[in-house]
Structure 1
Amino acid sequence: MPTPARPRRRPSAWRPDRTSMAPRATVTAALGAGAVAAVALDPSVVSIAYLLTGAAVAATAFVTVVPRPTPAQVGALLAALALLAVAGVRGADWLAVVCVVASWMVGSVALVGGRTWTGLALASVALWCTPARLVGWVRRGRSRHARESTVRPGRVLAVAAVSTCLVLLFGALFVSADPEFGRLFERVVPAVGLGNPLPHLVIGVLVAGAALAATYLRRRSPRFDSLAPAPARPLARWEWAVPLALLDLLFAAFVAVQLRVLFGGDGHVLGTDGLTYADYARQGFWQLSAVTVLTLLVIAVVVRRIDTTARRDRRLARVALGPLCVLTLLVVASAVHRMALYESAFGFTRLRLGVMAAELWLGVVFVALLVAGVRMTGHWLPRAVLASAVVGTLAFAAINPDGYIADRNVQRYTETGNIDVAYLRGLSVDAVPALDRLPEPVRSCALRGIGVGGDASGFAYNAARSRAAQILRERPVGPCDFGQW
């Protein structure tokens, strides 16, 4: 009896690595990136130091190793650096956090690559999977370099430690002896100063490790795309066409009945008992969220079950999925309209502006889904959605959210006399130029709660904080009676 054939094993997404060694140039560049982070980066201060640190890590990963990056990797790397640059231009902490997280995800894709949803999702956590491999990689490289060189790593660390202690000791004495030298020393080393060096050392070690991990991923990139689900068995045409047709009819009936509600605007809100602008906007947002999940789920399942090699199946899928995407876009437009009415009635806030931006981005995603349905191919869709998210985040930062909110509230105060000073006091330095246009004493009351912080020069430079400090120096904040606000 013949022996049954064994099923073929799925190839490993990340091959074992027991031979590769870290090049000396890579280790040196990683230590340099760690030094840049230790000197420049203070996580509690939104500044240009984020861009400098990111550029040092990128140089380590993309300059010291081969092969050369592909055009897609170069584009992703530039996008990641552009997101980090936001921290040097805008002063809002929450916006900087969003951009740094987005930069991490896009930078991970630049290192690992990815064309599928699975590949992109796993690429964002790839750096966290490298420590065990990284130790062996660096140890093997260090052993080889030790055999080739007479310089011992332990002696290098000892010399570096002694040198640092001497500079800190004598620097502190010179700073105490001469204030002018102290100011010069602080300009040369603005982020470290003479305080506790331990936090800066920890930051430097973490960044150096991240630079080494990023370089390792460039040299030994995992193939996360191979973990993507295999193509599913196609269903018979009627098995997916009937549910889609019924769903299209349901969506069409809902939109037809709710047409007056979807675009009712002020008349519908004011003419309906018990309906407020908050309820009107909130209903639109949750409708959009539900339709988004439903549309994505339906398209994901149906496309996997359609026989794309059959012309009739492709044609019928376009006819069935096209109206679903169009109706989704209609709900997106309605939700944006509702939020615009809400903001015009009650003013702008970070949450409202963020919801509006998310709705607009989801509209772009639905257009991409519609194009994918027409072409009956979606291999480009994951990267397109990621690219649209990056462009949307940069555009959101470009409009200066806190400054835009302040500007619209100032305009609303000019037209109606209504203003929420308590909320405006919680904005960042990005709002100072707009709030500076308010008449006194409203201006002083709104600006009093906005802290400009310390020096905005050197590694701590931030364009928004520098501009706000200049405005407040020229026109200081006056007295304010908070009781009336």
Structure 2
Amino acid sequence: MTTPTEPTPTEATAPTAPAPRSAPTERTPETMPTEPTPPTAPTAPTAAAPTAPTTAPTPETMPTEPTSPAAPSAQAPTAATPATAPAEPTSPSAQAPTAATSATAPTEPTSPTAKAPTPATGPARPAATTPPPAKAVPVLKAPPPPPKAPTWAWPGPNRVPGRALLVALLLAAAISATAIPLDRAGIGWLIGSTASIVALAVTRTKVSWRQAAWGAATLALLGVGTVRAAPWLFVLCVLTAAVTGTLALVDPRTLRAIVASFAIPPAAAVRALPWVRAGVQHRSPGSPARAIGVASVSLILLVVFGALFASADETFAAVLDWALPSVSGSTVSRAVLFFPLLFAVLAGAAFTLAGPPTLGRADLPTRFAFRRSDWAIPVALLDLLFAAFVAVQGTVLFGGTRHVLDPGGPTFANYARGGFWQLLAVTGLTLVVVAIGGRWAPRANRADRVAIRVLLGALALLTLVVVASATYRMNVYEQAYGFTRLRVFVTAVELGLGAVFVAVLVAGVKLRGGWLPRGVLAIATVALLGLAVLNPDRFIADRNVDRFAATGRIDLHYLNTLSADAVPALDRLADNDRACALWLAELRLRREHDDWRSFNLARHQARALLAERPAGSCGGYRG
């Protein structure tokens, strides 16, 4: 039994840096590994502490603790000693551990805090590391509100116009500038609008049925000038066609969008110019001299050969004289000024169809709403007032002219003329009241909705009776004093307002009135087209001639101011009355020569009738 020896400290206490690996060398007998020897018999255990191993552990037997990647020690590596064969193993207590020599494999770099194992403490423990921080608990936040849908956005088309569209726009502008007669109604308006619609169809933009309906209404309104000669009627048709044409391009669905859409055409005309220029540069990057040359050669050929054919045949010359507009300074200046304007308008329309603006699809919810008592009490009192007026009007509606002709009763003029305008104002103001109530009346519960249906519905129904009373008053006035354009027109307006109140009643059934703004415009358009179908000037002449046959009273001076539409009706008069009613119309028709652009069916028929039977001279007006 041997006495345990105290472990001696090693020569190197600080961890050494690993020696750099050298290129592999040829093994020699001195460095060849020896065969392992069998282990010696273990000695009897003693009470003493276990001794440290006598030799430094080799890489094959020394367990290394996992170390953290740390920078190697700053100490320089020791010089390697000549390699020696490993010593014979001895008893564990034979000798103390010696310093590691260069024969041993370089140790793995260790952490600066790691120490060699000692008998007292056993294997070194890994250095204590800081525990990772606890994971932060995510705080749930309210999701951000969804982005509001844009109520106004107009990025424009995402492609430049093609060659076909550019050519179509140029041709449509040229045809319209040539065909449209600016001073009167004529077929040229229909030709120009048709050419424009065909050119816009080249954009191949898918449109809704509403846009198609508005486009058809625009074409019908401008086509009125082909069959009706009344200037005042055609002016109304042109203005209404501008509105329906805008709706055909934009297709607004709310009152706010309809109002905003009227700014689209002028803005589109300005924005379309760079768009068209980009299309021209993209399709024909070279000089436009070739296109100008082709157009010039074509024009020269047509002029030369057309002149030769006209000089060779008088009939062909007459046809050319009728077909071609007269070339004058005013004609050239009109073409020079009118063509760019029409091209800009058509280009703006194509720009809008190719990249339509985004307008509000629905009215934004209102931030203000009445309480039920705030609006119900005033409307209920208004209903009572209307009911009282309607009760009084029952004697008029069913009493006929006796209410007016009885002694002490009002005169026709005071009764009909004054009362009509007041009732027309009542109708318009009632429409405003209904619109405000339908917009800001609460609908939170069933009681609110029932109040809307009952109170506003009753007001609309009573207003229809007021419309009937106003129409009756105007009819009484016309029977007494004759028919005029103003009286016929305001009667049509009153009937149109009655149709609007019927639409209000329909919308009030389900409390859905989003379609009402478009419905009101549709009613106005249909009413104007219906007035054109009625042919108001001829209707006025017919009614006054019938009244003359019944009463012997007629205003020939007023009838003489009617358009050519009234000539067939005034031709029913005899002798001097006919001459006094038609002489001014005959004079106007002689002075105004219609070519193919200003052809009008009513004027054509009036000329034929007066050519067969001239008006003659008027001996004096019948008062």
**Which residue is 1:254 aligned to?**
389
Mapped contact 2:151–2:360 kept (Cα < 8 A): no
**Which residue is 1:384 aligned to?**
519
**Which residue is 1:145 aligned to?**
283
**Which residue is 2:556 aligned to?**
421
**1:347-362 → structure 2 map (5 Å cutoff):** 347-362=482-497
Give SS of 1:478's match.
Answer: coil
Give TM-score scaled by structure 2 length: 0.71
Mapped to 2, the partners of 1:457 and 1:146 lie a distance apart of 38
Letter in 2 for 1:95: L
**Which residue is 2:589 aligned to?**
452
Give SS of 1:234's match.
Answer: coil
Give 1:90 deviation, angstroms.
0.5
Give 1:205 deviation, angstroms.
2.5
Give 1:285 deviation, angstroms.
2.6
**Which residue is 1:71 aligned to?**
209
Give 1:119 deviation, angstroms.
1.9
**1:206-355 → structure 2 map (5 Å cutoff):** 206-225=341-360, 228=363, 230-257=365-392, 259-260=394-395, 265-271=400-406, 275-355=410-490
**Which residue is 1:27 aligned to?**
166
Give 1:167 deviation, angstroms.
6.0
**Which residue is 1:134 aligned to?**
272
Give yes or no for the alignment of 1:102 onto 2:240.
yes
**1:72-87 → structure 2 map (5 Å cutoff):** 72-87=210-225
Structure 1 residues 370-379 or 9-18, which shifts more?
9-18
Mapped to 2, the partners of 1:40 and 1:440 lie a distance apart of 40
Mapped contact 1:265–1:338 kept (Cα < 8 A): no
Mapped to 1, the partners of 2:177 and 2:454 lie a distance apart of 58
Letter in 2 for 1:403: R
Fraction of identical pairs, as percent? 42
Give 1:346 deviation, angstroms.
0.8
Letter in 2 for 1:193: S
Distance 1:236 1:38, change over 3 A: closer
Q: Give the gaps of 5 or more residues in structure 2.
A: 1-140
**Which residue is 2:190 aligned to?**
51
Give 1:123 deviation, angstroms.
2.5
Mapped contact 1:76–1:107 kept (Cα < 8 A): yes
Give 1:322 deviation, angstroms.
1.4
Letter in 2 for 1:293: G
Letter in 2 for 1:452: L
Residue by residue over 1:220-273, the C-alpha shift from the partner in whole angstroms, topping out at 9 and shown as x without a partner, is: 212333595543433332222222222212222333355546666422333475
Q: 1:194 aligns with which of 306, 327, 330?
A: 327
**Which residue is 2:150 aligned to?**
11
Mapped to 1, the partners of 2:621 and 2:471 lie a distance apart of 36
Structure 1 residues 193-202 or 360-369, which shifts more?
193-202
Mapped contact 1:46–1:93 kept (Cα < 8 A): yes
Give SS of 1:97's match.
Answer: helix
Give 1:446 deviation, angstroms.
0.7
Give SS of 1:339's match.
Answer: helix
Give SS of 1:307's match.
Answer: coil
Mapped to 2, the partners of 1:199 and 1:175 lie a distance apart of 26
Distance 1:175 1:122, change over 3 A: farther
Give 1:155 deviation, angstroms.
4.6
Mapped contact 1:91–1:428 kept (Cα < 8 A): yes
Distance 1:329 1:177, change over 3 A: same
Give 1:159 deviation, angstroms.
5.4
Give SS of 1:217's match.
Answer: helix
Mapped to 1, the partners of 2:300 and 2:399 lie a distance apart of 71
Give SS of 1:449's match.
Answer: helix
Mapped contact 2:420–2:470 kept (Cα < 8 A): yes
Mapped to 2, the partners of 1:250 and 1:463 lie a distance apart of 50
Give 1:319 deviation, angstroms.
1.1
Structure 1 residues 315-324 or 266-275, which shifts more?
266-275
**1:163-182 → structure 2 map (5 Å cutoff):** 180-182=315-317
Distance 1:356 1:8, change over 3 A: same
Distance 1:92 1:370, change over 3 A: same
Mapped to 1, the partners of 2:419 and 2:622 lie a distance apart of 35
Residue by residue over 1:164-223, the C-alpha shift from the partner in whole angstroms, topping out at 9 and shown as x without a partner, is: 58867997898799865541212332xx22223221332232222221111111112123
Give SS of 1:448's match.
Answer: helix
**Which residue is 2:34 aligned to?**
none
**Which residue is 1:410 aligned to?**
545
Mapped contact 1:20–1:140 kept (Cα < 8 A): no
Residue by residue over 1:297-342, the C-alpha shift from the partner in whole angstroms, topping out at 9 and shown as x without a partner, is: 2222222223335222111211111111111111100000000011
Mapped to 2, the partners of 1:330 and 1:484 lie a distance apart of 39
Mapped to 2, the partners of 1:122 and 1:442 lie a distance apart of 53
Mapped to 2, the partners of 1:470 and 1:408 lie a distance apart of 23
Figure out how many residues of one structure are paired with residues of the other and give that number: 478
Structure 1 residues 343-352 or 261-270, which shifts more?
261-270
Mapped contact 2:254–2:514 kept (Cα < 8 A): yes
Q: Point out which structure has higher relative CO (alpha carbons under 8 A, 6+ apart).
A: 1
**Which residue is 2:79 aligned to?**
none
Structure possessing the higher radius of gyration over alpha carbons: 2
Structure 1 residues 211-220 or 451-460, which shifts more?
451-460
Give 1:135 deviation, angstroms.
1.6
Distance 1:124 1:250, change over 3 A: same
Mapped to 1, the partners of 2:406 and 2:291 lie a distance apart of 78
Mapped contact 2:172–2:192 kept (Cα < 8 A): yes
Give SS of 1:121's match.
Answer: helix
Letter in 1 for 2:253: R
Structure 1 residues 101-110 or 398-407, which shifts more?
101-110
Mapped to 2, the partners of 1:421 and 1:106 lie a distance apart of 38
CA RMSD of aligned residues (A): 2.9
Mapped to 2, the partners of 1:401 and 1:154 lie a distance apart of 53
Letter in 1 for 2:452: A
Give 1:18 deviation, angstroms.
8.6
Letter in 2 for 1:407: D
Give SS of 1:476's match.
Answer: coil
